[in-house]
Amino acid sequence: MRQNESLVANVDWALFAVYMLMLIFGVATVYSTAYNEDHPNLFDFSQKYGKQMIWLFVSLFLGLMVFLIDSDIYRKFCVPIYLFTLVLLVIVLFMPPVNGARAWLGIGTMGIQPAEFAKIGTGLLLARFISDVNVKQQTSQTVLLANAIILVPMTLILLQPDAGTFVVFTSFLFVMYREGITYDPLILKLVNAIPGVKFKQTWVGSHFIPILFVVVFLSLVTLLMSNEKISFGFLPGVIFSGFWSVMISLTIFAIFLSLVSRLIASKRERNRASLIILIAYILATLLAAIVNYGFQGLAEHQKDRIELFLGLKEDPDGEDYNRNRAMAAVGSGGMLGKGYNNASVASVESNHVPESETDFIFCPFAEEWGFVGVLLLVGLYMFMLLRIIMIAERQRSTFNRVYAYVVAMILFYHFAINIGMNIGFAPVIGIPLPFFSYGGSSMMSFSMMMFILLKLDSQRRDILN
Amino acid sequence: MNFDSRKYVLITLFILVGIIYTLRIFYMQVIDDSWHLRAQEIAEKRKEITPPRGVLFDRNGKKIVANRTYYNLMMVEDDMKNFDTVAFAELLGWQAWQVKKRFRDVREGEGTYYNKHTGKRTSNYQKIRAYPFIKEMTLEEIARIAPHLENFPGFYEEVTSMRSYPFANGANIVGYLSEVNREEVEEDHFYKPGNNIGRAGLERFYESELRGRKGIKYIVTSALNNAIESYAGGKYDTSALQGPPLKLGVDIILQAYGEKLLQGKRGCIVAIEPSTGEILSLVSAPSYDPNLLIGKRNISSNYPKLVLDQSKPLYPRPLAAEYPPGSTFKLLNSLIGLQEGVITPESGFPCNKSMVGCHDHTSAGNLADAIKHSCNPYFYAVTRRILQQGKKKNIYADAEVGLGLWAKYMHSFGLGSKLETDITGLRSGLIPDPAYYDKWYGHHRWAFSTIRSISIGQGEVMLTPLHLANIAALIANRGWYITPHFVKSIGKSGPDSLYRKKHFTMVDRKHYGIVIEGMRRVVHVSGGTGKRAKLKDIIVCGKTGTVQNPHGEDHSVFIAFAPMYQPKIAIAVFIENAKGGGGLWAAPTAGLMIEKYLTRKITEKEREKTILEAKFTYRE
């Protein structure tokens, strides 16, 4: 009895409220998008919104189950759970393909996607692994094992193939970075192989993951911009080549960073910060130049292939059909939107935006609610993400903290990529918008992820280490 | 080592992405409207309903320009199934190759346009869109085909409205319609390819009134181009509104009669109601039946013929043809002379044929008789007195001052510039001023003797028949005129304030009496040059003119108004290459027109017969 009381008292109700709010918005959007005049009932199970309601209740039921089980089992049984999701990922490869990918387990539309649940399994195991590691005494084995935990499910997912979820798995790298998993042992082995060099520690090694991401991101941006002409809105009539736009943006960013660092850093740190920014700036421009001129050397059809691969080739009615339609839907929303159930571009019935109830659910939402709705949605997500980080930081146990970061990073990835592909900022790789998109697997997996977090958090005081 | 500060890397990343996305979406949704347009292009179909054009009535309420329903046979390529070319050709009464050719034309022609940005002709033909396969079919034509169209999915009929002209007259007044071209579509968003626009006459001048207001229905369409629902519950839809009817001052009966009188001849008749400036008729001969230019099919077969016709039936002569006015001009020189005080009604000048020829008559002892005889030497003398008033010692400088004054008078009669008549195609004519002659002869190199032919309306002076009729009207009004115009009212409003304003001439009212008396003598006193315009119960005041034509026979001119007191009609008749002077052909024509208008009867049957039978030959 007492335990139950404390359970209720210790639940983070703010996070739970945002979660519930998002579910309600999500179902409302699915209802509006897939609305069928002949079946107006929300609980008409022949319709997508009816099915979504089933998934919603199943998810809440699963959540209740999670709450009734002692949170210790996630820590204890994380290896079997991880292995179970791996087995599912293997089995799914022998299923008949749906839309070109062997991602579905089950019959017809009522199947589940093991890849969604693999995120939880991987997240739990990674949390367990990191909580067992003494971060002060890392070896090459540590970082290799940590990477192996991620890479095995990633490989299986790539075999389906499911590029979206594959990319989402890289979010674990950021969690590893936060927890101090370092690539230094590997980097040192390489560097110290050079005769006469004897480093104990490298900056690149300890910050390997963000550096890797910056390099990849900057290379991609430079690649995409290399044959575009960009005009800056604030300078009428002035048009820069894409490469120079990247250079200018880098310069502005560097100046901005050094100003910020002057404001927040102590006197002693200022010079060091300025030096780091200067070196980073030089390296970044160098990288951009190499990518730009390397890319220009490529033949025209190779360029096209890269752009098509990234899903960023401008061709309104061809390769880039989805994104162009999606952007038209979002952009036509205006300040206040077209009103609930009034999406003209993104409704399922009009079918201009394919998958508008699943991967492109942001389109009908933005079209119907306008910028005001978007502000609310982005605000909810920001609140949720920052709240989870807050929860993470208040955990006594490393396991709980790592798991909380896993949840935050996965949600952030989905948010950034899903909305990014609706507004032309990310390639079109099909991943759902958590709690909004139609689909049982994503709703169940995200709900379970959320309830496990809430449960772990509610029992944070019971754990001593 | 403590890694807690690394949480800020993640927090910064989250917040940065949140802010950048918000700004980006704000830009897309609120600032940049190109996505909005793209969305409209994708999902909203703007269905336009073109209303029938406003109709035109004559002064007696007779409908002279009406609308009639026609049908377009539309095709949607995507909806065609198992299309049987041979059977379809049979249904239309065509050959199979014609059907195939028409398909090719639609595919290549209907959807293509000149893209300004790329400089290329671009095709936006879409298989899902409807295009007219055959345009403008009559009810009889479509009725034969329509019942069988169900065998040819992808084809359907669409109602469209086109002009019809119950009277085959007044083509040069009303003008005609034809399809807009690409520039017009780009210039004015009212028009869509395939819409009609007024090309000439009143149809063109009153285009913005006649076209009415288009109805617009916004429909949400699916990716397959099916209409789903009306956009925003029809909130932005507007209903079509037909253009208001135009009531004209034209008397279609008189117009038709005028056209009949001028058959087989080239020339013009312009009749104006002096008190209002309303144009009663504006005959341009030869003319054409406006029904020949209804719709694309008619235009493509008849327009080239009309354009190539040597007698220029499309040319609105009363508005655009510039002729010397001949002796009718003497009336104006008389008025100026009286106003300037250089002559009096009793002034007499001998008929001295040393400077200019004249016909045989006794020398005129007063102005009225001089007008009656149209004495050339008399008006030389009058005009010399106007131009050479002796205000300057140097005769060249004196002539310069005199001509400057004379030109001012002429401008006050509405000459030398375009009248503000509500129609397109007007020409300004020419009233020479000192600058004009300086250009030809040099400064101070000319005097009255150099330019004397302007005294009798020859030489450089050029007027349009509309100007001529306006002269008759302003004399009838004794010193003022209202700009001649066609439209009395648009819907319930009108006439325009422009057509209520009296323009006063520089000649005082008191001087008109004697000139009008002279005009009465022209018609009603024996020896008058215009006696063939005489009517039994109506006093006609007129003036003949014979315009020397270096290319052939003289032109026959007559201007007149009637009755003498409270005039109801002012008229100008101009017949080209008529053998014989103004008195022989133009005067009787004017007389018949006046009688027709005032009494609706023709008493002088013999005179009418002569005019109707007259044919003049023209050198091309």
User: What ipTM goes with this model?
Assistant: 0.90
**pLDDT tens digits for B181-203?**
878 877 887 887 778 899 999 99
- Looking at B157, B178, B195, the residue that finishes a domain is B157
CB-CB under 8 Å, A324 with B6: no
**B220 in A contact zone (CB under 8 Å):** yes
Mean pLDDT of B371-380: 90
In this structure, is the dihedral angle defined by the CA atoms of residues B8, B11, B17 and B20, taken in order, positive or negative?
negative
Mean pLDDT of B324-345: 93
Name the minimum distance, in Å, from the CA of A39 to any CA of chain B.
Answer: 16
Confidence of residue B205 (pLDDT cuts 50, 70, 90): very high
**pLDDT tens digits for B351-372?**
887 777 787 777 888 999 999 9
CB-CB under 8 Å, B39 with A332: yes
How many domains does chain B fold into?
Answer: 3
User: Which residues does chain B have within 8 Å of residue A367's beta carbon, measured at their own beta carbons?
Assistant: 39
For the ranges A372-376, B28-32, B365-369, the one whose mean pLDDT is highest:
A372-376
Interface mutation target, options B9, B21, B26, chain A, most CBs of A under 10 Å: B21
Q: What is the structure's pLDDT at A317?
A: 47
Q: What is the structure's pLDDT at B182?
A: 78
Calculate the average pLDDT of chain A.
Answer: 83
Q: What is the structure's pLDDT at A107?
A: 61
Confidence of residue B228 (pLDDT cuts 50, 70, 90): low
A16-20, A212-216, A219-223, A275-279: the lowest-pLDDT one = A219-223
> Residue A342: closest CA among chain B residues belongs to which residue?
B232
CATH number at residue B340: 3.40.710.10
Name the minimum distance, in Å, from the CA of A180 to any CA of chain B.
Answer: 6
**pLDDT at A301 exceeding the cut of 80:** no
> Residue A346: closest CA among chain B residues belongs to which residue?
B43
Mean pLDDT of B512-525: 93
Within this chain, do residues B336 and B416 fall inside the same structural domain, yes or no? yes
User: Which residues does chain A have within 8 Å of residue B11's beta carbon, measured at their own beta carbons?
Assistant: 386, 389
Within this chain, do residues B96 and B224 fall inside the same structural domain, yes or no? no
**B10 in A contact zone (CB under 8 Å):** yes
Within this chain, do residues B201 and B335 fall inside the same structural domain, yes or no? no
| Rounded Cα–Cα distance for residues B179 and B195 (Å) | 6
**B26 in A contact zone (CB under 8 Å):** yes
Q: What is the structure's pLDDT at B45?
A: 67
Within this chain, do residues B301 and B226 fall inside the same structural domain, yes or no? no
3-state SS track over chain A? CHHHHHHHHHCCHHHHHHHHHHHHHHHHHHHHHCCCCCCCCCCCCCCHHHHHHHHHHHHHHHHHHHHHCCCHHHHHCHHHHHHHHHHHHHHHCCCCCECCECCCECCHHHCECHHHHHHHHHHHHHHHHHHHCCHHHCCHHHHHHHHHHHHHHHHHHHHCCCHHHHHHCCHHHHHHHHCCCCCHHHHHHHHHCCCCCCCCCCHHHHCHHHHHHHHHHHHHHHHHHCCCEEECCCCCCCEEEHHHHHHHHHHHHHHHHHHHHHHHCCHHHHHHHHHHHHHHHHHHHHHHHHHHHHHHCCCHHHHHHHHHHCCCCCCCCCCCHHHHHHHHHHHCCCCCCCCCCCCCCCCCCCCCCCCCCCCCCHHHHHHHHHHHHHHHHHHHHHHHHHHHHHHHHCCCCHHHHHHHHHHHHHHHHHHHHHHHHHCCCCCCCCCCCCCCCCCHHHHHHHHHHHHHHHHHHHCHHHCCC
> Residue B3: closest CA among chain A residues belongs to which residue?
A180
| Rounded Cα–Cα distance for residues B410 and B118 (Å) | 53
**pLDDT tens digits for A217-268?**
888 778 777 666 665 555 666 677 777 888 888 888 889 888 888 887 777 7
Q: Is B480 left (phi over 0), alpha (psi -120 to 50) or beta?
A: beta
Report domain extents, chain A: 207-297
CB atoms within 10 A of CB B5: 7
User: Which residues does chain A have within 8 Å of residue B7's beta carbon, measured at their own beta carbons?
Assistant: 178, 389, 392-393
Confidence of residue A352 (pLDDT cuts 50, 70, 90): confident
**pLDDT tens digits for B65-102?**
999 888 888 888 877 888 888 889 988 888 889 888 88
User: Which residues does chain B have within 8 Å of residue A338's beta carbon, measured at their own beta carbons?
Assistant: 232
User: Which residues does chain A have within 8 Å of residue B13's beta carbon, measured at their own beta carbons?
Assistant: 412
CATH number at residue B223: 3.90.1310.10
CB-CB under 8 Å, B24 with A425: yes
For the ranges A226-235, A282-291, A292-301, B506-515, the one whose mean pLDDT is highest:
B506-515
- Looking at B157, B191, B219, the residue that finishes a domain is B157
User: Which residues does chain A have within 8 Å of residue B35's beta carbon, measured at their own beta carbons?
Assistant: 327-328, 330-332
CB-CB under 8 Å, B39 with A329: yes
Within this chain, do residues B224 and B104 fall inside the same structural domain, yes or no? no
**pLDDT tens digits for B284-323?**
989 999 999 988 888 888 999 998 988 889 999 999 999 9
Within this chain, do residues B178 and B113 fall inside the same structural domain, yes or no? no
Within this chain, do residues B502 and B609 fall inside the same structural domain, yes or no? yes
| Rounded Cα–Cα distance for residues B95 and B87 (Å) | 10
> What percent of chain A has a predicted confidence (pLDDT) above 90?
34
Angle at B17 between CA B15 and CA B18, to 5 degrees: 60
CB-CB under 8 Å, B14 with A385: yes
Is residue B35 included in any domain, yes or no? no
> Residue B5: closest CA among chain A residues belongs to which residue?
A178
**pLDDT tens digits for B573-614?**
999 988 777 788 999 999 999 999 999 999 989 999 999 998
Strand B215-221: give its sheet, edge to edge. B44-49, B215-221, B227-230
Q: Which two tokens stand for residue A143?
A: 């970082």
**pLDDT tens digits for B417-465?**
999 999 988 999 999 999 999 998 988 889 888 888 888 888 889 999 9
- Looking at B157, B189, B217, the residue that finishes a domain is B157
| 3-state DSSP assignment of residue B411 | helix
Confidence of residue B619 (pLDDT cuts 50, 70, 90): low
Q: What is the structure's pLDDT at A298?
A: 60
Q: What is the structure's pLDDT at A1?
A: 40
**B320 in A contact zone (CB under 8 Å):** no
For the ranges A73-82, A294-303, A332-341, the one whose mean pLDDT is highest:
A73-82
**B23 in A contact zone (CB under 8 Å):** no
Of B397, B565, B409, whose CA–CA distance to B476 is shortest? B565
Within this chain, do residues B480 and B382 fall inside the same structural domain, yes or no? yes
Q: What is the structure's pLDDT at A439?
A: 86
Q: What is the structure's pLDDT at A316?
A: 43
For the ranges A77-86, A203-212, A429-438, B576-585, the one whose mean pLDDT is highest:
A77-86
**B602 in A contact zone (CB under 8 Å):** no
Within this chain, do residues B196 and B326 fall inside the same structural domain, yes or no? no
Mean pLDDT of A438-452: 91
Mean pLDDT of B3-8: 85
Calculate the average pLDDT of chain B.
Answer: 87
Is residue B74 included in any domain, yes or no? yes
User: Which residues does chain A have within 8 Å of residue B12's beta carbon, measured at their own beta carbons?
Assistant: none
> Residue B226: closest CA among chain A residues belongs to which residue?
A350
Q: In terms of DSSP bridges, do strands B130-137 and B120-123 run parallel, antiparallel, or are they unpaired?
A: unpaired
Q: What is the structure's pLDDT at A465?
A: 45
**pLDDT at B503 exceeding the cut of 90:** yes
Confidence of residue B524 (pLDDT cuts 50, 70, 90): very high
Is residue B31 included in any domain, yes or no? no
Is residue B239 included in any domain, yes or no? yes
Q: What is the structure's pLDDT at B112?
A: 61
Q: What is the structure's pLDDT at A305?
A: 55
Q: What is the structure's pLDDT at A2?
A: 47
Is residue B9 included in any domain, yes or no? no
Mean pLDDT of B237-254: 90
Q: Which residue has the higher pLDDT, B285 or A83?
A: A83
- The domain containing residue B210 runs over which residues? 43-62+167-248
A315-324, B163-172, B581-590: the lowest-pLDDT one = A315-324
Q: Which residue has the higher pLDDT, B169 or A192?
A: B169
